[in-house]
Structure 1
Amino acid sequence: MPHLTDPDARHDHDHEIETLAEFDAVVARGSLGGYRVQAVDLTARTPDLLAVTTSGAVFLGCPMHPDGLAKVRADGALVFPPVPDLPFDPYRGLLYTAETLFEHLEQGYDATPDALAYAWFQRTGADGDIFASMLRSLHDDAVSDALDEHLVGARVVGVMGGHAMARGTTAYAGAARLGRTLARSGLTVATGGGPGAMEAANLGAYLAPLRDDAVLDDALQLLAKVPSFTPSVTDWARAAFEIRDRWPSGGDSIGIPTWFYGHEPPNAFAGHIAKYFANATREDGLLARCNAGVVFLPGAAGTVQEIFDNATPNYYESRGEPTPMVLVNRAHWTERLPAWPLLRSLAKARPMESRIALVDTVEEAPAALARLAAG
């Protein structure tokens, strides 16, 4: 979250408190001064709040007993109260998980926090209410902060591709193997967090720690029974959780979806999910964090947009040295949607020219990515 008090206050992530355990550890040292406490329920910590100084602290959406609330306000702490009757927490300190977004799935997808947040967005997104837009902005900033904390030191590779890629297809299996290969090479796989190619890459990363390669084939066969999230998101999501229940020790990856495309549910295989209301923030944030490059699988308008969203900072070197870009499927990117000729023309005689590649098959993508990264 943004740091909103005096310039002398501590400004690094080490002075954000996002769990009760972190709160207790700080209180034991005698002062909450300068800390930012995000979305932690402090109703049972009134004695601690009364006992320590909270001057210069910021409390973001933390429920408190009235006595504790009165004391921290008297200390001069800045308090942003919880917002009632919201299906999401605008101050959240941690990334989402599939379990949190799909809670109550047994009652049907419409009962889940993910569906309820989308319904709220639909109701408020077009009415011009500044309060609702402020809440969306606060939420998205909190998610970005949590994502940055989670990815400190990680080498992140993006896998982009269409949401329409169905389970049970050769293309879906290829994207899953790609995610597995990239994860096994030590990279953190990041996708747009939705269905299709995105889900497949997250699935591959999820199953990467399991050294029996036949596991992925078994999982693909089971998922093929529910090929798409249409007509039933409920059945589609349940099939994914059945895979997770059967192989519970999965690897981590990142999904970065958006409620802007709320008809596309998040997939359950990303270990951590940064879900946004603003798609522009989501798109830019996803690509900006792919410091080890991006693989672009066949897709439509969204994937074309992502190619050139990624190409622009590489062209201008606005984020430093250009990062690798690998486009997969020559016929798709030169004939059906000829993004490659334009990308190659843009890159000509610029540093990014040595960081782009077009390959025929998904199996060639990891080696191409490694070659581009090596210079």
Structure 2
Amino acid sequence: MAQGQRKSRLGSSHDDDREIETIEEFDRVAARGTLGGHRVQSVDLTGRTFALLSADTTGTLFFGCAMEPDAAAKVRADGALVFPPIPDLPFDPYRGLLYSPDELFEGLADGGYEITRDALTYEWFQETKADRDIYASMLRSIHDDAVSDALDELLDGTQVVGVMGGHAMGRGSDAYAGAARLGRELARTGLIVATGGGPGAMEAANLGAYAAPHADEMLDEALELLAKAPSFTPSITEWATAAFDVRTRWPRGGDSIGIPTWFYGHEPPNPFACHIAKYFANATREDGLLARCNAGVVFLPGAAGTVQEIFDNTTPNYYGSRGEPTPMVLVDRAHWTEKLPAWPLLRSLAAGRAMESRITLVDSVDEVPEALSRLTQAGPSGA
């Protein structure tokens, strides 16, 4: 989400904690006369010099907050710790909120995908990764930790269901339409849909969640419009523009989460995830995505990445390291028993363990909501 935008209705109020992530929060806290002990993340304070000069800032931490020289000198004299904004970066390592599609795709309509924040950040990542610059590595780590913090705050107290699947699932296909209907159905039950944030099955599930508040006809029409740009190759610009055309025609869509990575920077994030937690480190992204799916994970047909996600999620369920096992639903019997036989191995691993009653294999996406409900109601021992 772009800095300064209102917080999503997903997140709980943070007035009672020490983190300040918007100018509105800053004004509320500063009005009390003290900012002592607070952490202020990426808030432009150049227009708040009087407030900074007036308030006690003992022990305050300012991460990437622009401020006038007089204000910066005063807060340092108070004992505040100031991490100044870093110039010439295409991203903000200290950000306090998640990305929005508008922020990552800023500039798309004017100069195409190549000039967007998302593309420029990937370019920076490729250059600095090749240089093995420890300074750049530190900035990436700070950024990813800030994103994780923002994601935890946004999802606090919510029920999250993950939908995993391959990036190759094309718009206009029956499989894409089915994944979109699944995302819509899950969102309408009150769950927050989370995906890997990329194209294909991931985009379809985020699209379905976006369509949830609208009439059923909206999704049918949106699928027809998107089919005109079926893939992000050869043109990410055309692919993304089609998605933003849908968002413009049907604004105020439903919330969902996308958790992509610049590690796979050739795959753009999809614009239907209203909140995007984009990471540099793919390992952090993968584990974080699955760990936050407390209402279960649905695995649509996919290839190596989806297989990896199945067993990344299996490991904590197997050992019970996250507590009670979360439901796992594999979709498409032929795919997971014949083409990529992950199901027999998963079932063998689960045999006799608490997770055994929390896994199932179904033939189609239409069976998923009922399967998730049944697995959720089943106790770990199958009771």
TM-score calculated relative to the size of structure 1: 0.96
Q: Which residue among 290, 307, 310 is the counterpart of 2:310?
A: 307
Match of 1:185 in 2: 189
1:213 CA drift (Å): 1.2
What SS is found at the alignment partner of 2:17? helix
1:13 CA drift (Å): 7.2
Match of 1:176 in 2: 180
Match of 1:74 in 2: 77
1:126 CA drift (Å): 2.6
Match of 1:360 in 2: 363
What SS is found at the alignment partner of 2:46? coil
Match of 1:150 in 2: 154
On the 8 A contact 1:182/1:205 being kept in 2, the answer is yes
Match of 2:104 in 1: 101
Q: Which residue among 140, 146, 153 is the counterpart of 2:144?
A: 140
Match of 1:6 in 2: none
On the 8 A contact 2:197/2:259 being kept in 1, the answer is yes
Structure 2 runs not aligned, ≥5 long? 1-13, 379-383
Q: Which residue among 224, 227, 232 is the counterpart of 1:224?
A: 227
The 2-side partners of 1:44 and 1:28 are apart by: 15
Q: Which residue among 322, 326, 344 is the counterpart of 1:323?
A: 326
1:48 CA drift (Å): 0.8
Superposed CA RMSD: 1.0
The 1-side partners of 2:20 and 2:71 are apart by: 17
Give the letter aligned to residue 144 of structure 1: S
Matches within 5 A, 1:128-277: 128-210=132-214, 212-277=215-280
1:44 CA drift (Å): 1.1
On the 8 A contact 1:227/1:236 being kept in 2, the answer is yes
The 2-side partners of 1:255 and 1:352 are apart by: 26
Match of 1:5 in 2: none
What SS is found at the alignment partner of 1:216? helix
The 1-side partners of 2:46 and 2:250 are apart by: 37
Query: After TM superposition, where is structure 1 displaced by more than 3 Å over at least 4 residues in a row?
Result: none
Structure 1 runs not aligned, ≥5 long? 1-10
What SS is found at the alignment partner of 2:266? coil
The 1-side partners of 2:155 and 2:317 are apart by: 21
TM-score calculated relative to the size of structure 2: 0.94
1:12 CA drift (Å): 9.9
1:68 CA drift (Å): 0.5
1:366 CA drift (Å): 1.1
The 2-side partners of 1:183 and 1:13 are apart by: 29
On the 8 A contact 1:95/1:272 being kept in 2, the answer is yes
Give the letter aligned to residue 20 of structure 1: I
Deviation string for 1:163-193 (max 9, x for gaps)?
0100000000000000000000000000000
The 2-side partners of 1:293 and 1:46 are apart by: 47
- What is the aligned length? 364
Is residue 2:306 matched to residue 1:296? no
The 2-side partners of 1:324 and 1:126 are apart by: 40
Is residue 2:121 matched to residue 1:117? yes
Match of 2:30 in 1: 27
On the 8 A contact 2:35/2:56 being kept in 1, the answer is yes
The 2-side partners of 1:367 and 1:127 are apart by: 50
Is residue 2:125 matched to residue 1:91? no
Give the letter aligned to residue 109 of structure 1: Y
The 1-side partners of 2:17 and 2:224 are apart by: 44
Match of 2:7 in 1: none
The 2-side partners of 1:151 and 1:13 are apart by: 17
Give the letter aligned to residue 272 of structure 1: H
- What fraction of aligned residue pairs are identical, expressed as a percent? 77
Match of 2:3 in 1: none
Give the letter aligned to residue 29 of structure 1: R
Deviation string for 1:6-31 (max 9, x for gaps)?
xxxxx997210011110010010110
1:341 CA drift (Å): 0.5
The 2-side partners of 1:261 and 1:183 are apart by: 27
On the 8 A contact 1:13/1:149 being kept in 2, the answer is no
Match of 2:66 in 1: 63
On the 8 A contact 1:61/1:81 being kept in 2, the answer is yes
The 2-side partners of 1:126 and 1:348 are apart by: 45
The 2-side partners of 1:50 and 1:193 are apart by: 42
Deviation string for 1:37-82 (max 9, x for gaps)?
0000111111111111100100000011110000011011111111
Deviation string for 1:115-134 (max 9, x for gaps)?
00000000011321110000
What SS is found at the alignment partner of 1:234? helix
The 2-side partners of 1:153 and 1:274 are apart by: 18
Q: Which residue among 44, 48, 51 is the counterpart of 2:54?
A: 51
The 1-side partners of 2:374 and 2:128 are apart by: 47
Give the letter aligned to residue 346 of structure 1: L
The 1-side partners of 2:16 and 2:347 are apart by: 40
